[in-house]
Amino acid sequence: MRLSRYFLPVLKETPSEAQIVSHRLMLRAGMIKQSAAGIYSWLPLGFKVLRKIENIVHEEQMRAGHIPMQMPTLQSADLWKESGRYDAYGEEMLRITDRHGRDMLYTPTAEELITDIFRSNVSSYKDLPLTMYQIQWKFRDEIRPRFGVMRGREFYMKDGYNFDLSKEDALHAYNRHLVSYLRTYERMGLQAIPMRADGGPIGGDYTHEFLVLAETGESEVFYDSAVTDLSFGDREIDYDSVEQCKGVLEEFTTKYARTDETHDEALFGEVPEERRRTARGIEVGQIFYFGTKYSDALGAQVQTAEGEKVSVHMGSHGIGVSRLLGAIIEASHDDNGIIWPEGVTPFHAGIVNLKQGDAEADAACEALEKAMEAAGLEPLYDDRKERAGGKFATMDLIGLPWRITVGPRGLKNGVVELTSRRTGESEEMAPEAAVVKLIEIYADHRVTGL
């Protein structure tokens, strides 16, 4: 992509309405624009990161055996009246009346709708287990939308739902989700810690939230510092193995880690004092097991092998896809701007031409751009006639992890400069060598389906 042809409306001034760094940087980097309180347009750069995050979520969900689908954003209120949540959900639910006077709503979550799909189509234990998910816009009429995409009213969520014959099977689905979420967040360069939480309006008393530690987080959390040493890493896991999934759950949830809703001072007191931590966190996901709450209310039953009719055991599992952009930036930035982890960066490397219009420099940049594209990498080539300082500032602000700087002086010696955004360290090398190095760096960070 050539910057001169792209749409990247960066802001020089720091927007005064933004209270936290991720919101400020997303506005300054031209990623989003507010259209109404808590509702945003996703400008090209923001949209590109959103898609990368979405694709990682898809890849990890499908790896775990979950089936993608899509449900509408607008739903009839009828199912919600049947489940009892139409009244219970309260003011957060955006209610709409259509031209025929029918009660509709903009979906804040989809337990009812998926349970209706299930009950209309599945009647035998033979079709279980089943887990389906979607990535779809949601609306919650938050009383205080704030911090940009972090607490929006319209936001993008991955929501998955499992249907199982027994509590035991449903708990395996729960554990499988926990494992797949750990992998998902790690691929985005994030440490998200599973913490015991409260079921809230979704329900169920067995639930974990995934929290990214950050001073600007909205949740107060209490944990044993030993949980921050845990990492899922690149271990291979068999998602069908009850033992393996349970083992990971135990490894990651046995040590004390709770949100304030479930915090227990006495239990916390058993953690060695030097390891007790109180901090703030950003909730980037939550998994629930709620048994037969919705299947009982909506009559989602299957016949067992013995011919008995039983309500299915269910859980639901959510990832705050749009919130993740904010969380990643909170966790990874410096005074000059964003520092994208390789897994989610909108472009893999920036190419900065120090002397636009110089025949040799232009040709070298174009050759680099072509070589990267041929290798399946996405470069962003700053081909504007701007001062070098301005070009560097833009690259730092938008946070591409790598920058290749091309100038007549280096080219005389056959070299360009490859600079790491994170460390600021630069290395001179032949242009071809820079491309080879980027291919190596990104070998483990390819997201398909863009």
- Short-list 393, 373, 375, CA closest to 384: 393
Q: Which is closer to ligand P5A, CB of 137 or CB of 268?
A: 137
Q: Which is closer to ligand P5A, CB of 217 or CB of 399?
A: 217
In Å, what is the CA distance from 113 to each residue of 118, 160, 239, 295, 312? 9, 12, 26, 11, 15
Q: Which is closer to ligand P5A, CB of 331 or CB of 351?
A: 331
CB of 156 to ligand P5A, least distance (A): 8
Of the candidate residues 286, 301, 353, 394, the single one contacting ligand P5A (CB under 6 A): 286
222 lies in the binding site for ligand P5A (CB under 6 A): no
CB atoms within 10 A of CB 308: 10
Query: Token pair for residue 446?
Result: 């390819």
Residues 364/406, Cβ–Cβ less than 8 Å:
yes
Contacts for 308 with CB less than 8 Å, ≥ 6 apart? none
* DSSP type of residue 375: T
> What is the helix (H) or strand (E) element at residue 351, kind and residue range?
strand 349-353
The region, left, alpha or beta by phi > 0 then psi within -120 to 50, assigned to residue 150 is: alpha
In the chain, what's the furthest Cα-to-Cα distance? 81
CB of 447 to ligand P5A, least distance (A): 20
CB of 200 to ligand P5A, least distance (A): 7
Contact positions with ligand P5A (CB under 6 A) in 87-116: 109
Contact positions with ligand P5A (CB under 6 A) in 140-159: 140, 142, 151-152, 155, 157, 159
Q: Which is closer to ligand P5A, CB of 318 or CB of 343?
A: 318
Cα(118)–Cα(103) distance, rounded to whole angstroms?
A: 23
| Site map (CB under 6 A) of ligand P5A, residues 158-177, x = contact | -x------------------
The region, left, alpha or beta by phi > 0 then psi within -120 to 50, assigned to residue 200 is: left
CB of 315 to ligand P5A, least distance (A): 9
Contact positions with ligand P5A (CB under 6 A) in 6-45: none
Of the candidate residues 21, 93, 135, 202, the single one contacting ligand P5A (CB under 6 A): 202
Contact positions with ligand P5A (CB under 6 A) in 316-345: 316-318, 320, 322-323
Q: Tell me the residue type at 172.
A: H
Q: Which is closer to ligand P5A, CB of 321 or CB of 351?
A: 321
Tokens 């290395």 -> residue = 427
Contacting positions for ligand P5A (CB under 6 A): 109, 140, 142, 151-152, 155, 157, 159, 202, 283-286, 316-318, 320, 322-323
